[in-house]
Amino acid sequence: MAHDVSADDLTLPAINSLVQVSVSGGDSYRSRVEDAGDGLVTVAAPLDLPVTDIPELGTPLAVRWGAGARGRYVLTGPLVEILTGTPPRWVMRPDGPPRIEQTREFVRGGGDEPISVRRVSPPGETFDGRVVDVSEGGVRARFAECDLTPGEQIFVTLHLGEDIVGLEGTVLRTWEEEDDECRRHAVLVFQPHERDARVIRRYVLQHQLRMRNGRRNR
């Protein structure tokens, strides 16, 4: 379900912000905003888009980005220009203001898995910590040392059993827990490609099953 957001409530997505782009209502692909203004939004053509899915002018696009607890914003409109370069860029003309799209609650699970977080913008060091819980929409983690601040763009590496997942994301919030030796806590949000989302979902469900079986065997 989605509802309109007036222009007073929200401007277009910020340049360099991470977004998800879908073509003709199909699969979503990771992208980045290259330009926004004058009634147009320009995004980088997704690197993992199959050749068979490259759109023609006039093809409907949807651009989505996080709206915190409210869900995510979605902006729709036709592709009006393709710019060459590295990477190629798609120019979309929105057919209305952004809307809030309600997303289902993601199943959360796991705990104590290794996590590394590298600051991307502005560039910075890498912080190693442990997962508190994880879902396909984000992760809560704890660190002995960490000076991340809300709004920073990051790259997250999660070690989920035999799988390693790397994701671009954003710091949602941070706080301190005085009675925890890993006192720095953070919530990090991301919008994984479907392949990575499946890995996370599978791991969370397997973890929940192990926990239930462990309780039964006590």
pLDDT, tens digit, for every residue of 120-158?
877 878 999 999 999 888 899 999 888 888 888 899 999
Task: Please compute the mean of the pLDDT values over residues 157-176 and round it to a whole number.
Answer: 91
Whether 100 contacts 153, CB under 8 Å = no
Alpha-carbon span 22 to 77, nearest angstrom: 11
Please tell me the predicted confidence (pLDDT) of residue 79: 94
Comparison of pLDDT for 101 and 104, the residue scoring more: 101
pLDDT digits (tens, 9 = 90+) for 169-204: 888 888 888 766 668 899 898 888 878 888 998 999
What's the confidence (pLDDT) of residue 217? Answer: 57
| pLDDT value at 93 more than 70 | yes
Report how far residue 67's alpha carbon sits from residue 180's, in angstroms, rounded to the nearest whole number. Answer: 30
Complete domains list, the chain, with CATH = 2-101 (2.30.110.10), 114-216 (2.40.10.220)
* pLDDT surpasses 90 at 7: no
What CA–CA distance (Å, rounded) separates 18 from 28? 13
| Distances, alpha carbon 152 to alpha carbons 133, 134, 148, in Å | 20, 19, 7
Q: What is the pLDDT of residue 80?
A: 96
Q: What's the DSSP call for residue 6? A: -
What per-residue confidence (pLDDT) applies to 90? 95
- Please name the helix (run of DSSP H) or strand (run of DSSP E) that holds residue 30, with its range, or none: strand 28-37
Q: What is the pLDDT of residue 194?
A: 78
* Cα 86 from Cα 169, distance rounded (Å): 22
Q: Kindly state the percentage of the chain with pLDDT values over 70.
A: 85
Please write the tens of the pLDDT for every residue from 38-65: 889 999 998 877 777 788 999 999 898 8
Mean pLDDT value across the chain: 83
pLDDT of residue 73: 83
